Amino acid sequence: MKKLITLLLTLTILASVFVLPSAALTDTEAAAFKYTLIMQSSNGLSYTGDDSLFYGKYQMRGMAISQDGKYAFGGYLNPKGSSAIEMSEIATGKVVAGFQFVQPDGSVSYPKGLATDDRGYLYAALAWYPNYGRADIAAFTFDNNTIKQIGYANIVTTSDSVKTGVNGITVEKLNGNYYAYVVVNYDVDYLARFNVTDPANPVLDTAFGEGGLIDLQKEPYSLKEGNYLDVDTDGTIYLAGNNSAGAKVLVLSSDGSLILNEFAHDTAYGVAIWNNYLFVTTQKTGKVGIYDKTLLTPVANIEVTADNTNLPISRDDILIAVGVYSLCNAAVVNDILFLGDQGSGQAGLDQIFAVGLTADAAAVVDACAKGIHDRLAAAYPEKTEAPDTTEAPATTDEATKAPEATTDAPEATDSPEATDAPTAAPEQTPAPGTEAPAEEKGCGGFVAGAAMIVAILGTAIVFKKRD
């Protein structure tokens, strides 16, 4: 028995030696990642002038990925009258659906924050045009050609003289219920929590904060602006924001009442949780900081550039120039890190990049790149001959820079004065009777045969996944 106990203790000690430390990733390893371009638009065009967005034109602020990895959603803000949610297939890069929320006065709300849940619902944080009067939350179902609104609720109603907007939204399942967390910003700053267990009937969770709202301008938060956020499986809230001392990430208790910790990050904007890591985007750059989620210490830094971007198809007549301006959003779905670039305000481009954080996830991203390549090559055969494969350049070789964009996005015009926003929500349609069926993870069924794709295309250096 003593020998058995000694053996077990020895094995335990040896096992602990091989457990990956929280800061195992180095800057060198992170710098070796290749970021696959899975969505790109400019002035309402997606990939080429032949593929148009349904409504949106430019300034993709909101971004979300369906939990089955099939669809990417962008929330476009400008110009007036074209603000919309656009949905594209990650496996092909094709825009397949769009939705506009039209206010009773005929204006179109800004979908500045987007999120999805594991039941197959999409949520939007809506700021009323032109950022005055009120902020709302809406819930949607979606399929390959339709985004349908099923739920709607008011978050706050202010007045025409109070600038009222929204930023991040995220959804998490806690103790059998689904909760949506929304950041309201500008002249007022709140963190709201809604119970969206019934997505057709979002209900402000009055047990959270004061009647469902936390005033982020008050002590101990003292924020001038709340940005984007993510919520862990235990309810811990990671919120990016800024005050007079600078930009930071606040770690809040599950009820939002306590600041458990905080750390500074240059222009912190988007936040995404993956295992024991936090990804924090840096506004108006292509940089992302990686932190240990427990210790809140920096682990590594990554930066998306033209040189480390993998283009699904290297054809100037299809893909617009690649350059990163402002990574506003980050999301991790099925071990794939997605980064949303609202670059059109400066560079003329809005983009979503993906990188697999494990070997299996990297294979899925490679498969998506092949699917986008194959669709574009088949759709435009009269164009320049496409390359034979989508294999990314070796990490030791510098990738060829894409040409500069030839058309800048139009500047946003000044917003007219707002009219009084109504207090009544639009008519709601009943929620689906059953939950959306679970679908195979990955890009449209590309998971099958992923090992073969890895063998053919290879993958970038990946994180070692932590349990």
- Cα–Cα distance, 301 to 269 (Å, whole number): 15
- Decide which of 80 and 325 is more confident: 325
Query: Which residues are registered as beta bridge partners of 299?
Result: none
- Cα–Cα distance, 140 to 426 (Å, whole number): 14
CA distances from 222 to 158, 212, 401 (A): 20, 18, 43
Residue 28's pLDDT is 78
Question: What is the three-state SS of 296-352?
Answer: CCEEEEEECCHHHEECCCCCCCCCCCCCCCCEEEEEEECCEEEEEEECCCCCCCEEE
Taking 60 as the threshold, does the pLDDT of residue 7 lie above it?
no
List, as one string, the DSSP characters of 219-280. TTT--SEEEEEEE-TT--EEEEEEETTEEEEEEE-TTS--EEEEEE-TTEEEEEEETTEEEE
- Cα–Cα distance, 326 to 144 (Å, whole number): 29
32-457 has CATH 3.10.129.10 classification: no
Mean pLDDT of 55-59: 90
What share of the chain has pLDDT > 70, as a percent?
A: 76
Taking 90 as the threshold, does the pLDDT of residue 83 lie above it?
yes
The pLDDT tens digits for 333-356 are: 999 999 999 988 777 889 999 999
Is the backbone of residue 337 left (phi > 0), alpha (psi -120 to 50) or beta? beta
Q: Sketch the domain layout of the chain as residue ranges.
A: 32-457
Under a CB-based contact definition with an 8 Å cutoff, are residues 321 and 403 in contact? Answer: yes
- Decide which of 79 and 451 is more confident: 79
